[in-house]
Chain A
Amino acid sequence: MTNFLKKRSILILACVVVSLSLMSSFLLAGCSSKQSASAKTVKVAFIGPLTGPDASEVVGPKNCFDLAISQANASGKLPYQIQSVYYDDASNAGTAANDAQKIVSDPDIIAVTGFFNSAPCAAAIPIFKNAGIPLVIWGAISKDLTQAANMPYITRVVPTTFQEIQPMATMVTQTMGYKKWAVITSTSTYGQDTLAGFKAGIQGVPGVNIVSVDSIADGTTDFRPVVTKLKSEDIDAVFFGDNLTEAALAVRQMQELGITNVLLTGTSALTDPAYIKAAGTACEGMIVSQSGEDPTLLPNGQAFVAAYNAKYPQGSYGSYGEYAYDSTNIIIAALDGLGANPNPKDLATKIAAINYNGLLGTTTFDANGQTTDKLTTIMVVQDGQFISWDNSQYKTGVRKLPPV
């Protein structure tokens, strides 16, 4: 009898659950059907670490992307309004691969611009390439991302780490004559890439050699064992290939252990006031290279800065904003003339062959899809500020770098 009662109550329970569920699923279906009713749309996707450790770096590029899209929509030169969609890779390669799968499954998305980090970019490239969706990279600078095999789908407007480090490496080794080098870098993608870039940069300069290379995991705070080792090796200069925090700590610990008469060099990852704040006086006289140029000094820069400041009164365009702006405008320029129903494959071919005169000068892509515009600036820390090498007191000789 009790058994029977139990079974009945299960039956009732199950019925209640089923009916409740049915009701709510109909409600949900009603909600979702309202959204999907629109004409032929053309979407351009922006992908980057909108959240996570690098989120603050991507605010500027994202604004610049929005700025370029809204300018194009306002001008009315295209027969449709471009819709912008955003994907967040959170600096994580796995997330980026998933995002890329979502992007290629959406038939409305015609082109993508994106990536601040190289590892997520590398993860997504095969997916875009297989699906035939053009990707214009504005921020990821690992050399191998652009390859002839990926053409015409993958192009990049920003110089690679190799192109970025080359002028500085030549200057400090050939012109200034620093011979014995040590490298402190990170085990991350970025660290290994800058290491390769630096090796390539000093290759062929007679007498220059690297006596030690230390790759240290990101998040390490104690660099003293490595620094102590360097102290015994009588080096002329150190190249830092890792990120801001790690480089700042290593530089400080070098000062603390009394290694003060060596030249310090680094990558564009360090050109941030936060780095100088963290490293303190230890980084005085450090030389770094940075791709691009201050937009206000560029021929088309004034108009961009004015438009940006009008739309985003607070917040800067960041180190890569100019590249995001140009990459978006290249997509828009290529869309012009493809009619009301553009095809990603035609678009990719057109982007690869483009000759675009924009913010950063004239952009064309070589056989690998890499920009031929290699604008870089060498900077030096003087009185706690990054200033251009050409304007510095170190160049004029008022201040002295460590002896060779």
Chain B
Amino acid sequence: MIEVRNLTKHYGDKHAVNNISFTVEDGEILGFLGPNGAGKSTTMNMLTGYISSTSGQALINGVDILEDPIKAKSYIGYLPELPPLYVDMTVKSYLNYVYDLKKCKLPRRAHLNEVMALTKVSDVADRLIKNLSKGYRQRVGLAQALIGNPPVLILDEPTVGMDPRQIQEILSLIKKLGKNHSVILSSHILSEIQATCDRIIIINKGVVAAHDTTDNLSKNISTDHRVIARIEGPREEIIKAIRNIEGIKYVRADMEREAGVYEYEIEAAPDQDIRRDLFDIVTEHHWYLLGLRSAELTLEDVFLKITMGEGIIVPSAEDKKGAKA
């Protein structure tokens, strides 16, 4: 379990991280999102005791990382942005070293073999780390974090440099580990976070810009009812006809997708379902409806919306409840 209370880090008068609070329960995976330089790695470095916080508190399994660093660190498996690998060691001797470094008590051979099998590095166990590809190095880094079976895992962009199949494997491994560990996972790749994490924190400019479950986050921002329709037919007439539907707020033709086929972005009044009306109009004029989809915001859109420009702060479901009460 990880508890973070008002964690702050200043470098001089620059606020790298400002007043961040969150909790990760056992058996939960928290996604950490944010553009480069937003403070993700700084936060993780504070949680793992690599750097100290200016103020605030980070508790790992109830132990303050600054008060009893050695005990707190023993609960953490950490994969930093750049895995801390000694490149002139073999994978096996490196993992043995980490085993000793962490003063691990589990049966050595069985445990190391288990970790290597989980992270799929058994077949390179006797190779020098400097001869491994980026994807393999990343997996050795993950193996290193798993040694000693720590209850808390902090993984800073664990899938960097992997091919799509390896990413799938590692994410499903993390998901499996998330059932009985507290996991913090940071990534730039939103689909990864969406597929793996229970909750998401978006950090922007050192503050928490959004904090919610994956589903709520996209719902929260996309309040308006919008669809995107792909229709074959004369553009001006179509726009005019759609405008005549009751409750339409906005319609716009997008680029030409095929010859004579445009995509139309249509926004109706909230809570109004215009899909049937749209269908009627199209058939009435003998146009063809080639595609229709809801323009609900993806996590990608949410991310961009939050982190672009000045950045907005999305209240979480809990905050809203609190406000109502």
A is bound by B: no
Q: Which residues of A contact B (CB under 8 A)?
A: none
